[in-house]
Amino acid sequence: MGLIDVLLLDLDGVVRHYDPAATEAIERKSGLPPGRLHETAFETRLLHSVVTGAITRAEWVDRVASAVGPVAATAWATQRPAVDREVLTLVRKLRVDGVRVGLLTNGTDRVGAELAELRIADDFDEVFNSAEIGVAKPDLRIFMHVLRVLGVARSAVLFLDDSSANVRGASAVGMRAHLFTSASDLTDACKMYRLI
């Protein structure tokens, strides 16, 4: 291969997207203040517990339910995300061209099932899930784990994430890392490294 042997992508905010308006609608319907679901579910310690596998997704939802009520928590937890079709189209093209494409997600124990439900499980050569690894981005140990499993040079991995902290973490271990804000960022990065 050329400069890059592996394209590594974050899952949420890159490959799949949740509609914030849907969460806002749940809050309105449930009489919750704006932002309450997000601040409850993504409270630092609780989020760390679920994405490092200390608790399951079901337990996470139960904790959210105890704070906001079961109706709102269930509605929030059962939202269906949308797959970014531009990103997926490019991923499929790159794989046809011989580029390995993987996911690196701060996920829960349900990531495998969620990818299958979205019918995109077969679109990635590797799925690195923090809940299975026990360490979450931006901890450098998760990036080092990925490099060991991939067995490629650090600079041969191109990583895109919608979190600046995660991009910095990947850069710190020697990956070529870029911030993702839209599919055009992925296209531009792929052009820069001559993948397309």
For the chain, the domains span 6-17+82-192, 20-77
Local confidence band at 134 (pLDDT 50, 70, 90 cut-offs): very high
Structure tokens at 43: 């409270």
- DSSP assignment of 55-73: S-HHHHHHHHHHHH-HHHH
Residue 1 in this model has a pLDDT that exceeds 60: no
Per-residue pLDDT of 40-92, as tens digits, reads 999 999 999 999 999 999 999 999 999 999 999 999 999 999 999 999 999 99
Query: Is the predicted pLDDT of residue 136 greater than 80, yes or no?
Result: yes
pTM of the model: 0.95
Fold of 6-17+82-192: Rossmann fold (3.40.50)
Which DSSP category does 134 fall into? S
Tell me the C-alpha distance between 11 and 17, whole Å: 9
